[in-house]
Structure 1
Amino acid sequence: MAHADEQEIIDLEQEFWRTILEKDTEASVAMLPNRSIVVGAQGAAVLTRDDYRRMAEQAESAWRLKSFRLDDVSVIFPHEDVAVIAYTVTEEMDVDGKPLTLKAADATTWVRKDGGWLASLHTESVLGDPFGRDRNAA
């Protein structure tokens, strides 16, 4: 059983995923600071809340999250006002109108501000061969 503070962070992470699932962009934005960082297969970017809104709008025509599951969840608190959560995620989605199952390793850094937590950094790494050999045509 997770410690109460750990469970709060797990619940926040699950809630952020739920906002994506339900396409509740404003609820997602409310969980972000004025500027945050996102890192993934497309690179690294600093996003404002308005950037996030635009990104969510653009994504609506390209993909849709149908379900998600977080596994192997770990939470640490390097400082009383900083929490880092890491996990594997299985995402069931439609991409360009076709079903896709994506498995990735994700991490989010949450920073406590004014009594609440904000997602300041999120990373996602698609699981597979660390050198990308499983993505190269033979």
Structure 2
Amino acid sequence: MPTTTAPRQTLIDLETQFWQAMVDENIGAATDLLAEPAMMVSSHGALQFDRTMYGKMAKEGPMVVTAFEFSDMQVVFPTDAMGILTYRVKQGVAPRGDKAQSTEQVMHDSSTWILADGQWQCVMHTETPVEDSMKVPTKH
């Protein structure tokens, strides 16, 4: 019986690739990892989108991701063709065109990946801001 070590790491690697594509503003690399349609839930609401719509959001949105750091990564496989990741992410975000104004946010995120035609694709992503009471204090 195969272990879940390889699929687990595969999904962590794909999630990392997606985030790095956002930092690099590499829209093609990001859209290649998306199912079509895909969905997301954030503080802005719930949204279903296709790859073209994601590309437009990534290219024209008012904010960009400048950095990220994952922690507390958990991965489960409800089926052989579905994996769900949950994690905490410390992310830098900045107004488009002014990365020097980057600020840090801490979020709890989840992504659901499906195996379709031999390729893992992200079909659902959620993000929830961490309340101030849940943030780890920074040492000065």
TM-score between both structures, scaled by the size of structure 1: 0.86
- Is residue 117 from structure 1 mapped to residue 137 from structure 2 by the alignment? no
Query: Which residue of structure 2 aligns with residue 69 of structure 1?
Result: 69
Instruction: Using the TM superposition, give the Cα deviation of residue 129 of structure 1 relative to its aligned residue in structure 2, in angstroms.
Output: 6.1
Identity of aligned residues (%): 27
2:25 is paired with a residue whose SS is coil
Deviation >3 Å, runs of 4+ = none
Instruction: Using the TM superposition, give the Cα deviation of residue 128 of structure 1 relative to its aligned residue in structure 2, in angstroms.
Output: 0.4
Residue ranges of structure 1 left out of the alignment (5+ in a row): 131-138
Report the aligned-residue RMSD: 1.6
Q: Within 5 A, what are the aligned runs for 1:1-138?
A: 3-59=5-61, 62-95=62-95, 97=98, 98-128=101-131
Give me the whole-angstrom Cα distance separating, in 2, the residues matched to 1:18 and 1:102: 16
Query: Which residue of structure 2 aligns with residue 133 of structure 1?
Result: none
Query: Which residue of structure 2 aligns with residue 134 of structure 1?
Result: none
Deviations 1:13-68 (A, max 9, x none): 00000110100001111111220001100000000111101101112xx2232210
Give me the whole-angstrom Cα distance separating, in 2, the residues matched to 1:83 and 1:31: 14
TM-score between both structures, scaled by the size of structure 2: 0.85
Instruction: Using the TM superposition, give the Cα deviation of residue 95 of structure 1 relative to its aligned residue in structure 2, in angstroms.
Output: 3.2
2:103 is paired with a residue whose SS is strand
Give me the whole-angstrom Cα distance separating, in 2, the residues matched to 1:32 and 1:92: 22
Give me the whole-angstrom Cα distance separating, in 2, the residues matched to 1:21 and 1:126: 19
Query: Would the aligned equivalents of 2:36 and 2:123 in 1 still touch at CA under 8 Å?
Result: no
